[in-house]
Amino acid sequence: MVCNPSIMPRAAQRVERHLLGRNPIPTQTPPGSPAQTGSAAVRIDKWLWAARLYKTRSLASEAVSLGRVQINGQDVKPARELKVGDLLRLRQGHVQRELVVKGMSHQRGPAPVAQRLYEETPQSIQSRAEAAERARLAPEPAATMEHGRPTKQQRRDLQKGWDKRWSASVDD
């Protein structure tokens, strides 16, 4: 059945490659379908990327390696398999989140499908809201500065005080 590839239609070429043992026929499963979100285990770094919690898989892997992600209260490695029902605790910047895994996915899909892969715990939602409120009410750090950078004269005045003493002990 081998013939000139320029003459054969693409579908026939794929079937021929499959029959010859090269390149299996890709299956088209829509994101979020039961075949894709089954109960099979998935690597934690891949799931974090597919659930759109991290922008790239390497960022997800790095976060797991640095101990910012825990499964059921235990630090894990990026190759750890995640299962449906696991409690996931992760830290992104100053934000702490607790998620319950509801589905599995090997590939990154649209945001609405990715949000169905997990459910955030009510305690996590409440603590994130409280942290956001504290950050909103906190004073701006730059507002405490009166004049900004010291002038050259002010720096020299600061240095004069340090030149008189050569050690931290008080010698009277």
Give the model confidence (pLDDT) of 132-146 as tens digits. Answer: 999 889 887 777 767
Q: Specify the length of the chain in residues.
A: 172
Report the C-alpha gap between 132 and 125 in whole angstroms. Answer: 11
Largest separation between any pair of C-alpha atoms in the chain:
102
Torsion angle of C-alpha atoms 129, 135, 136, 139, degrees rounded to 10: 160
Q: What is the pTM of this model?
A: 0.61
Handedness of CA 166, 170, 171, 172 (dihedral sign): positive
Residue 74 makes CB contacts below 8 A (sequence gap 6+) with none
| pLDDT value of position 27 | 45
| pLDDT value of position 157 | 84
Report the C-alpha gap between 101 and 108 in whole angstroms. Answer: 16
CB 83 within 8 A of CB 39: yes
Distance set, CA 66 to CA 49, 58, 90, 139 (Å):
16, 12, 11, 31
| pLDDT value of position 138 | 87
CATH class entry, domain 31-135: alpha beta
Where in 27-105 does DSSP place strands (E)? 42-43, 69-71, 74-75, 81-82, 87-92, 95-101
- Every domain of the chain and the residues it spans: 1-28, 31-135
Positions of the chain with pLDDT under 50: 23-30, 33-37
